[in-house]
A and B are shown apart, each in its own frame.
Chain A
Amino acid sequence: DAMVIQNPRYQVTQFGKPVTLSCSQTLNHNVMYWYQQKSSQAPKLLFHYYDKDFNNEADTPDNFQSRRPNTSFCFLDIRSPGLGDAAMYLCATSKTLDWGTDTQYFGPGTRLTVL
């Protein structure tokens, strides 16, 4: 089935040790997003790609970077994870940039633990 896949589902890293989370999609959607969701809070958009065009949210820390080598894959790189970066990271896709009206399809998320 067409879907959004995130690997790994659970990631443990050490304070300050770089970590990369992976997302792939078989929907052939133009837009891919990364959200951060902390416990009992709303998902917060970090950035999105429309094709190869990268759009960073104004309040996304520099510690977070992203790469999209092709349509299917998108990576979230956390250069120096802090304890406050422990969260669920959700990847999503949509066909167009009309996010409000165009459905976003979410992956199952990667839960990041920082020791």
Chain B
Amino acid sequence: DQQVKQNSPSLSVQEGRISILNCDYTNSMFDYFLWYKKYPAEGPTFLISISSIKDKNEDGRFTVFLNKSAKHLSLHIVPSQPGDSAVYFCAASARLSGSARQLTFGSGTQLTVLP
């Protein structure tokens, strides 16, 4: 049972345009959401995150939007650059007990930015 879903395995966008990567989740206990970026032959690196008390978080060209009622979040990259071509993982976190947390990843979306 996939609690975090990235339904688009791939996305191609022209350089300079907006890239929108989507993520859906099912567990209402998730209260923190993260995006990781992965280049080939490297491990995932943290990109941006958002707490469930917010609906938007912005960091330079990257903005994450959270719609709790729809259990949906999206990552916007504006403008897209060829160096943004990578696999993007959505991850969601829920508190279990005490200080322990659960972190669940989606299966990733391969973004290709065409020059």
Contact = CB atoms under 8 A, between A and B. Distances in A.
A38 B32 CA distance: 25
Nearest to B42: A108
Contacts of A96: 99
Contacts, number: 65
Give the interface residue-count category, chain B: 20 to 34
B58 interface: no
B4 interface: yes
Nearest to B6: A42
Given A42-B4, A42-B108, A99 B101 contact: yes
A104 B103 contact: yes
Contacts of A90: 43-44
Interface of B: 2, 4, 9, 31-32, 34, 36, 41-46, 49, 51, 89, 92-95, 99-108
10 contacts: A9-B41, A41-B107, A42-B89, A97-B99, A98-B99, A100-B34, A100-B93, A101-B49, A103-B46, A105-B45
